[in-house]
Amino acid sequence: MDGAAVLGRPVDQTARKHLNLLVLAAGEERFGVVVSRFLSEGEIVVQALDNHLGRVRDIAAAALTEDGSPMLLIDVEDFLLSVRRLAAGGPLHGITAAAAELGKAARQILVVDDSLTVRELERKLLTSLGYAVEVAVDGMDGWNAVRSGRFAAVVTDVDMPRMDGIELTRLIKNDARLRDTPVIIVSYKDREEDRLRGLDAGADYYLTKGSFQDEGLARAIADVLGEDLTP
């Protein structure tokens, strides 16, 4: 598959006589990723990304080339996850890159929660239903992710560091490009005023984490996407 498609960049549709193929391995899996060209090998000084950027999908760090030009360094594990997601969208030959990206994104869900236990419960449930799931560890991480990706829906907690789920919901719904993205809040806060606060921020659903146990989340996702509960 084309590396540009994996990174969400425009794909060069020009017919090429030769392809530069980067082979990546993960356990027993092998992936061939088409890249525009190979430059050279060399030593670089790796620099961490600014913390204000939060998590940047597929990117681990930055560096400067010998002539002072900036470069971004791929996070191989994250990049392989993006490769798997794109591959899961179906055959890529004979369709445009834009159509392939749309097919992939149509069933991709972002889960935002600072609790590892809750993130895993939600991720496993949604994965079992056939969705590709990306996770974010707090509201700021979720905001960075939703701006850089294309998600069918966002599932978020309320109480989180740096940015809470109410503010995240409000930002999504006030963004012209993102406002149609369904947002489902799943929170321990179960008072009526908490539910109304979430809905007033623009959430499509407000569920308590008790409802999550009886698959209320699965039903809410199916409803906002107009899909069946089965994969």
Q: CATH number of the domain at 106-225, please?
A: 3.40.50.2300
Q: Are 163 and 138 in contact (CB under 8 A)?
A: yes
Confidence (pLDDT) at 48: 82
Longest CA–CA span in the chain (Å) reads 63
Give dist(CA 155, CA 111) in Å, integer. Answer: 5
Q: Which residues pair with 2 in a beta bridge?
A: 34
For the stretch 19-70, pLDDT in tens is 777 787 766 667 777 787 777 677 778 888 777 666 677 788 888 877 778 8
pLDDT of 6 above 60: yes
The fold of 3-88 is SH3 type barrels. (2.30.30)
3-state secondary structure of 38: coil
Helix, strand counts (H, E) of the chain: 9, 9
pLDDT of 78 above 70: yes
Give dist(CA 20, CA 34) in Å, integer. Answer: 6
Confidence (pLDDT) at 212: 56
Q: How many percent of the chain have pLDDT more than 70?
A: 75
Give dist(CA 214, CA 140) in Å, integer. Answer: 29
Q: Are 118 and 133 in contact (CB under 8 A)?
A: no
Confidence of residue 14 (pLDDT cuts 50, 70, 90): low
Instruction: Report if pTM > 0.75.
Output: no
The residue ranges of every structural domain in the chain are: 3-88, 106-225
Query: Of 93, 89, 88, 80, which Cα lies nearest the Cα of 30?
Result: 80
Confidence (pLDDT) at 50: 75
Query: Of 208, 134, 194, which Cα lies nearest the Cα of 220?
Result: 208
Q: Which two tokens stand for residue 163?
A: 């940015």
The chain-wide mean pLDDT, for the chain, equals: 78
For the stretch 97-141, pLDDT in tens is 444 444 434 478 999 999 998 888 888 888 888 888 999 999 999
pLDDT of 198 above 80: yes
Confidence (pLDDT) at 208: 85
The CB density around residue 158, as the number of other CB atoms within 10 Å, is 23
Give dist(CA 203, CA 206) in Å, integer. Answer: 7
